C-alpha cells in the first residue's frame, strides 16, 4: 500500500525553493554547476537549471546543468551488476573552481553521494560541493547531509520512497510504500 506525500504542485514548490536557496548561498549563478545523478536527479537538475535561468537574467540552463554518472563508483556493483552506465555530461566551463551542486531524488544511506563525490574527483577540483535532494528520508550510513532539501520524510528502513516524474514515469508524485509483511 502506497500513500502519496507530494503531488505535482508540492514538487514544483520544493524545486523553486531549492533553486532560490542555491542562488542565495552562491550569491547568484556565477561559477555555478548543477549536476544531476541519474536517473531522476538529472530531471530534477534540469528543472532547477530552468528555474534559476528564470530568476537570474542571462543565465543559460544548458551552460550550468549536466549529469554525473556514478555507476562504476558504486560499492554495490557486486550485488547489482546490471546497472547501465549513463553518459557524464559536464557543462563546457568544467567544474574546476566552481560551486558544484549535486542533485538526487532521494537521500537515504549516503552511499550514492559518496560515489558521486568519487566520480566528481576524477573530473576536476570544484571550489565547493553542495547537495540538493527532493526527499531526505534519514537512515544515513555515512556522514553526509543535504544542503538543500525539498522535504524531510522520516521513514522506517522497511518503507520505500517512490519518486515519479512526468519525463520518466508519465506521472508526478512522491509516495511512501508501506512495508509488506510476508506470511
pLDDT band at 182 (very low <50, low <70, confident <90, very high): low
Predicted confidence at residue 181, as pLDDT, reads 58
User: For cell 576524477, what's the residue?
Assistant: 122
Pick from 106, 22, 7: nearest CA to 61: 22
Mean pLDDT of 61-76: 93
What is the model's pLDDT at position 168? 96
CATH number at 2-73+85-177: 3.40.50.2020
**Which residues 6+ apart lie within 8 Å of 182 measured at CB?**
none
What pLDDT was estimated at residue 125?
Answer: 97
The three three-digit cell numbers of residue 41, written as one number:
536527479
Domain boundaries in the chain? Answer: 2-73+85-177
Q: Judging by beta carbons within 10 Å of its beta carbon (0-12, 13-18, 19+), is residue 96 exposed, middle or buried?
A: exposed
pLDDT of 183 strictly over 80: no
- Mind listing the pLDDT tens digit for each residue in 73-130? 988 777 766 678 889 999 999 999 999 999 999 999 999 999 999 999 999 999 999 9
Residues 6+ apart with CB under 8 A from 93: 33, 63
Q: For residue range 130-165, what is the model confidence (pLDDT) as tens digits? A: 999 999 999 999 999 999 999 999 999 999 999 999
Amino acid at each position: 500500500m502506497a500513500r502519496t506525500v507530494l503531488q505535482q504542485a508540492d514538487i514544483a514548490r520544493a524545486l523553486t525553493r531549492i533553486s532560490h536557496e542555491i542562488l542565495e548561498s552562491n550569491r547568484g549563478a556565477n561559477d555555478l554547476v548543477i549536476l544531476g545523478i541519474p536517473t531522476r536527479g538529472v530531471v530534477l537538475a534540469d528543472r532547477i537549471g530552468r528555474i534559476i535561468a528564470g530568476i537570474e537574467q542571462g543565465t543559460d540552463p544548458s551552460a550550468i546543468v549536466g549529469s554525473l554518472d556514478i555507476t562504476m563508483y558504486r560499492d554495490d556493483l557486486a550485488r547489482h551488476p546490471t546497472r547501465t552506465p549513463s553518459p557524464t555530461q559536464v557543462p563546457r566551463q568544467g567544474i574546476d573552481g566552481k560551486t558544484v551542486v549535486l542533485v538526487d531524488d532521494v537521500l537515504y544511506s549516503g552511499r550514492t553521494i559518496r560515489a558521486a563525490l568519487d566520480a566528481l574527483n576524477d573530473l576536476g577540483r570544484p571550489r565547493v560541493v553542495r547537495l540538493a535532494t527532493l526527499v531526505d528520508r534519514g537512515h544515513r550510513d555515512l556522514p553526509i547531509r543535504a544542503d538543500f532539501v525539498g522535504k524531510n520524510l522520516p521513514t522506517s528502513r522497511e518503507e520505500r520512497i517512490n519518486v515519479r516524474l512526468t519525463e520518466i514515469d508519465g506521472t508526478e508524485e512522491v509516495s511512501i510504500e508501506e512495508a509488506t509483511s510476508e506470511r
